[in-house]
C-alpha cells in the first residue's frame, strides 16, 4: 500500500475550509545564520496545535455512516489524540483515546476538552496496541492509527502540498525540505507531495538522538526496531520503529535522516520564541534544531522547515528558555 500526489490532492479538497492553511514565515536572523533562504511552516498554528489534525480528519471524514455511529479509538501521547478528538467532534462521532499516563498535561487536558474519553496506561507495563484493539473489539469502534495508514499519511501530506504551492506563489522552488520524523507519517506524506511537485527537491527527516530508528533503518537497508534506554523531551517522536507503510514510502523518497540532541532541541525552542514569536514543542522543533546546528550544508539554498507542533507544558517551556536565554 502506498500513496501518490493525487491522493494528497484529494485529501486537500476534504480539508479545504476545515484545516487551517498555515502560513510560510521567513526570519532575517535565521537566514543570516545559515546563509540561506529559509521558509518555516508553523503547524503549531494548526487546529489543536499540530499537523495531526490533517490526517485525522482525512481518515475520519471517509468513514461510512455505520462506522461513524460506532465511533473511533486511537492511541497517542497527545497530538494524534487531539487531532482525532477534534475531527470526531466536528463529524459528530464518539472518540476514545488511549494515552500514556506520563503524557504532557496540556495534551491530556486538550484531548479531554475536545470531548474524547481517555483511557490512561503505563508505558512500561501495558501495551497501548492491545488496549486499543480490545476497545475496538468490544465496541466496534474503528481504530485510527497515528501514522501507518494511507489516509492519515495523505492528510499529513497536505502540509507538503501547501508548502510547494505557497513557494510557487513567490516564484521559488525549495532545494531542501526538513521535516520532523517519529513514526514517519508526516514525512511520508510530505515527501510524496514534494517529490510529486518537484522531483529534484531533497527531503530530509529529523529525529531526536536515542530515537533514531529511521536513520538506523536506512543504514541497515531495512526496518529496524530500537529499544531506547533514555527518554526524550520529544514525546511526539517516540516511535521505536518506522511504520511498514511509512517506511515503504520514506525509504524511497527521503534523501537521509539527521539526528539532534536534547540541547539542540531546547536551543531551537528558545530561538523560535525569541525570533519567530512562536511556541514550538520539542518534537516540533527538531527540524529547526538540525538547521541551526548545521547538520546539513544549506548555504545559498532555499529551505523549507516544518515546525510540526506547539503543545508544550508551560513549566518545561520556561526551562528551555532559561537554559538558552540568548539562542
Predicted TM-score (pTM) of this structure = 0.95
Residues 284, 45: Cα–Cα separation, whole Å: 11
Nearest to 82 by CA among 57, 52, 55: 52
Predicted local distance difference test score (pLDDT) of residue 124: 85
The domain 53-143 is placed in CATH, from the list 1.20.950.20, 3.40.50.1100, 3.30.300.130, 3.30.420.40, at 3.40.50.1100
Predicted local distance difference test score (pLDDT) of residue 261: 98
In a structure prediction context, what are the per-residue pLDDT tens digits for the chain, which is 327 residues long? 789 999 999 999 999 999 999 999 999 999 999 999 999 999 999 999 999 999 999 999 999 999 999 999 999 877 898 999 999 999 999 999 999 898 888 888 889 999 999 999 998 899 988 999 999 999 999 999 989 999 999 999 999 999 999 999 999 999 999 999 999 999 999 999 999 999 999 999 999 999 999 999 999 999 999 999 898 999 899 999 999 999 999 999 999 999 999 999 999 999 999 999 999 999 999 999 999 999 999 999 999 999 999 999 999 999 999 999 999
Residues 58, 121: Cα–Cα separation, whole Å: 27
CATH 3.40.50.1100 domain position(s) in the chain = 5-51+149-323, 53-143
Assess contact for 87 and 61: CB atoms under 8 A.
yes
Predicted local distance difference test score (pLDDT) of residue 123: 85
Residue 270: phi, psi to the nearest 5? Answer: -65, -40
Predicted local distance difference test score (pLDDT) of residue 107: 84
Residue count of the chain, please give it. Answer: 327
Nearest to 157 by CA among 137, 182, 134, 187: 187
Provide the 8-state DSSP code for 229: S
Distances (CA, A) of 314 to 104, 105, 290, 319, 327: 10, 10, 24, 9, 19
CATH 1.10.10.10 assigned to domain 5-51+149-323? The reply is no
Predicted local distance difference test score (pLDDT) of residue 70: 96
Distances (CA, A) of 89 to 64, 68, 162, 275: 16, 11, 25, 35
Nearest to 51 by CA among 185, 143, 205, 150: 185
Amino acid at each position: 500500500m502506498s500513496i501518490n500526489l493525487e491522493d494528497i490532492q484529494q485529501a486537500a479538497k476534504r480539508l479545504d475550509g476545515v484545516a487551517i492553511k498555515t502560513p510560510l514565515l521567513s526570519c532575517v536572523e535565521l537566514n543570516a545564520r545559515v546563509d540561506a533562504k529559509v521558509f518555516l511552516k508553523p503547524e503549531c498554528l494548526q487546529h489543536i496545535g499540530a499537523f495531526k489534525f490533517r490526517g485525522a480528519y482525512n481518515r475520519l471524514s471517509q468513514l461510512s455512516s455505520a462506522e461513524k455511529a460506532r465511533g473511533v479509538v486511537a492511541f497517542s501521547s497527545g497530538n494524534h489524540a487531539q487531532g482525532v478528538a477534534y475531527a470526531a467532534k466536528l463529524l459528530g462521532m464518539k472518540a476514545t483515546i488511549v494515552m500514556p499516563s506520563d503524557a504532557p498535561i496540556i495534551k491530556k487536558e486538550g484531548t479531554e476538552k475536545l470531548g474524547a474519553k481517555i483511557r490512561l496506561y503505563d508505558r512500561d507495563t501495558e501495551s497501548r496496541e492491545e488496549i486499543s484493539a480490545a476497545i475496538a473489539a468490544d465496541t466496534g469502534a474503528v481504530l485510527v492509527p497515528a501514522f501507518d495508514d494511507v489516509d492519515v499519511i495523505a492528510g499529513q501530506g497536505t502540509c507538503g502540498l501547501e508548502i510547494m504551492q505557497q513557494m510557487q506563489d513567490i516564484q521559488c522552488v525549495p532545494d531542501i525540505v526538513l521535516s520532523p520524523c517519529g513514526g514517519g507519517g508526516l514525512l511520508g506524506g510530505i515527501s510524496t507531495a514534494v517529490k510529486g511537485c518537484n522531483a529534484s527537491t531533497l527531503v530530509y527527516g529529523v529525529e531526536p538522538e536515542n530515537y533514531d530508528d529511521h536513520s538506523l533503518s536506512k543504514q541497515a537497508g531495512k526496518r529496524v526496531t530500537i529499544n531506547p534506554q533514555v527518554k526524550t523531551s520529544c514525546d511526539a517522536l517516540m516511535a521505536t520503529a518506522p511504520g511498514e507503510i511509512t517506511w515503504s514510502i520514506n525509504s524511497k523518497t527521503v534523501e537521509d535522516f539527521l539526528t539532534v540532541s536534547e540541547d539542540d532541541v531546547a536551543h531551537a525552542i528558545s530561538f523560535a520564541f525569541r525570533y519567530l514569536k512562536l511556541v514550538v514543542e520539542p518534537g516540533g522543533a527538531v527540524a529547526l534544531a538540525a538547521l541551526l546546528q548545521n547538520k546539513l550544508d544549506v548555504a545559498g539554498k532555499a529551505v523549507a522547515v516544518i515546525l510540526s507542533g506547539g503543545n508544550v507544558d508551560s513549566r518545561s517551556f520556561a526551562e528551555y528558555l532559561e537554559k538558552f536565554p540568548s539562542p
